[in-house]
Chain A
Amino acid sequence: MSNAAPRTLYQKIWDAHVVEARDDGTCLIYIDRHLVHEVTSPQAFEALRVSGRKVRRPDLTLAVPDHNLPTTARRDAAGNRIPIADPESAQQLAALERNAPEFGVRLIGDADREQGIVHVVGPEQGFSLPGATIVCGDSHTACHGGLGALAFGIGTSEVEHVLATQTLLLKRSKAMEVRVEGTLVPGVSAKDVVLHITGVLGASGGTGYVIEYTGSVIRDLSIEGRLTVSNMAIEHGARAGLIAPDEKTFAYVQGRPFAPKGEDWDKALAWWKSLATDPGAQYDKVVVIDAADIAPSVTWGTSPEDVLPITGLVPAPESFADASKQDAARKSLHYMGLQPGQRLDSVEIQNVFIGSCTNSRIEDMRAAAAVLKGRKKADNVRWAIVVPGSGLVKEQAEAEGLDKVFLEAGFEWREPGCSACLGMNPDKVPAGERCASTSNRNFVGRQGPGARTHLVSPAMAAAAAVTGRLTDVRELV
């Protein structure tokens, strides 16, 4: 499609995927890649079965179990499967293992070395590509936007729709630019950047928008850091996050198992290079953030927007302008067991979780291990686990000796999966206890009923483990 008017990255990807446009603005959008996991797909496959429908493009679909899988050993010494204790979890996994072959969908199973969290596996396998439309029945699908893919979470009815038709009926979202300019101070990571953005925009600030993250800070991030930022686009309400693909992106994608090869690669590269937002293209909204304002960050409440620098104090509910936020803050502080005015770096923690689709890639492992090397977790930290995002991340970390750093520091070194990011598998935080967590949501009950979550970066989680309280990582480096 040729179009003289300058366009944003979002609009270019959108335009390249319109099968049909209706007068009312609804478009039938083609979906290039569909990731499927065990939680949001059983009802979709069941609906296909009931109506005698097929998966239109099994070759564009990839199934990976992650949410329910225990992160303890999956095979015994003789190579036999260790049964999953929870019968309902076992049933969901069994459903995926039955549905994938029945519908001709490729499955990366629980014992495959490539298995992991779908949002780690997709980019790692070269399944997720720049410029592609990518969906999954999971809101953190926005993650793949870090490669410059238009990627977003969908519900189970939409999973069924994509399985049956390889399309979705969508209206174009508005486009927002979040530009982060300047240089990050030492100790500040991609996670702090996205927590800060969420604090600035609020949990619903991005609703109705696809956000393109731009600026020198975003350009300077590694691909893994960009995946972390885009991963949490949904936490400020955005439909999707996007980061323009560049030479770093191309180098990351090249040579991965499902990535284009030969002549296809050359064509892909030419197209990808044309995707960056044109000079003069208009966004519906622009938010500019100064990197100097971003400190190592931590959440104090039960919405990801409740973010403060680690050097801050727990806010008083009265300090918020609007009445409903005051009310929400009161409820949050009650749930979190915090007092207004309390120093955030005085808050004791009992649990540390390093993992999740936000922060379980190799650079996250390295960042945490760098803080933990030669140190031990504090005595009051009862439970500390590291859950690599995939079997390949785990292998790489072990090759670098990072597993030993974690084990010597008193952490457990687990098998890949969603783990303690959400209370669906045995990894849970007990009621009333706190967790310094590298995951993406601090919702009430997210890590287990009554669990109190403080979202932080991998380095900050490691620092909290060492001191036994929320800690400014800059004190330890």
Chain B
Amino acid sequence: MEPVNQIEGRAYPFGQKNVDTDVIIPAHWLKTITREGLGRGAFESIRKDPDNLFDSAEFSGSPILVAGDNFGCGSSREHAAWALLDLGVKAVIAPSFSDIFSGNAFKNGILTVVLPQAAVDRLVEVARTDPIHIDLENQTVTTPFQDRFSFEIDPFRKHCLLNGLDEVGLTMARDAQIAAFEGTVREERPFLANGVLAAA
């Protein structure tokens, strides 16, 4: 995965709340067996409007999306993160995210920044005309107008994003610990250790 640190550029002044993953990428785009090319389906229903933000000359290709409360709610489809990535989005700023979406975004190197509603409102305003700067190392979002918003991020996620680490590889290195746990379960809760092959 590509390391993430400074993200700077224009931002979609989107601002909508409760944007679900069906809106981010409708179900008929989910029939792919690869991760690529989903940007074309991103926000499909919104992009039926010829004046939409995502295809406008000014905003198309922006690396940042400023969204409303509960962004990415609904279906667990990781295709939503892949679609945003393919659209060129590297960070989403919102007052809150669905748990599943923020996890999926993180695993694909998309930074999700949680800021209070007032800060998000201000960033939507700025984004209409000017770029936004996100500094992951220092956990700040700044604008050309001396706005400066600090955000919290899980230290492990920050570490992985800054260094582009692959979580599966990191966990596989804990094989001995996992095997030891499995041994304990086999002793204490054998009914959980025996899966479908044993019963078959």
Residues of A within 8 A of B (CB): 16, 19-20, 22, 24, 26, 28, 30, 32-33, 39-40, 42-43, 46-47, 51, 53, 56-62, 67-68, 86, 88-89, 91-92, 95, 106, 127, 129, 131-132, 137-139, 141, 153-158, 160-161, 164-167, 169, 171, 173, 203-204, 207-208, 234, 237, 239, 257-258, 260, 264-265, 267-268, 271, 303, 305, 324-325, 328, 422-424, 441, 443-446, 449
Contact = CB atoms under 8 A, between A and B. Distances in A.
Contact of A106 (B35, B99, B196): B196
A197 to B, nearest CB: 16
Contacts of B98: 204, 207, 237
B199 A257 contact: yes
Interface of B: 16-18, 20, 22-23, 26-28, 30-35, 45, 68-70, 73-79, 81, 96, 98-100, 103-104, 107-108, 154-156, 167-168, 171-172, 174, 177-178, 181-182, 185, 189-192, 194-200
Contacts of A204: 18, 69-70, 73, 96, 98
A445 B197 CA distance: 40
28 contacts: A30-B178, A40-B76, A43-B78, A47-B168, A61-B195, A91-B31, A95-B33, A137-B78, A139-B74, A155-B100, A157-B104, A160-B168, A161-B168, A165-B172, A165-B178, A203-B73, A204-B73, A237-B98, A239-B99, A258-B196, A267-B189, A267-B191, A423-B26, A423-B28, A424-B27, A424-B31, A443-B22, A443-B23
Given A91-B33, A158-B103, A33 B76 contact: no
A76 to B, nearest CB: 24
Contacts of A260: 190-191, 194
Contacts of B99: 173, 207-208, 237, 239
Contact of A59 (B18, B28, B174, B197): B197
Contacts of A47: 168
B194 A264 contact: yes
B145 to A, nearest CB: 24
Contacts of B18: 203-204, 303, 305, 328
A42 B35 CA distance: 10
A106 B81 CA distance: 29
A422 B68 CA distance: 24
B154 A207 contact: no
Contacts of A139: 74-76, 100
A108 to B, nearest CB: 10
B5 to A, nearest CB: 20
A160 B171 CA distance: 12
Nearest to A88: B31
A358 to B, nearest CB: 14
Given A161-B171, A165-B171, A267-B191, 11 more contacts: A30-B185, A32-B192, A53-B172, A91-B31, A95-B33, A155-B76, A161-B167, A167-B171, A207-B99, A441-B75, A443-B23
Contacts of A443: 20, 22-23, 74
Contact of A449 (B45, B70, B174, B189): B45
A157 B167 contact: yes
Contacts of B198: 59
Contact of B30 (A24, A39, A167, A264): A39
B102 to A, nearest CB: 10
A51 B168 CA distance: 11
Contact of B155 (A24, A57, A67, A446): A24
Contacts of B17: 324-325, 328
A101 to B, nearest CB: 13
B152 to A, nearest CB: 12
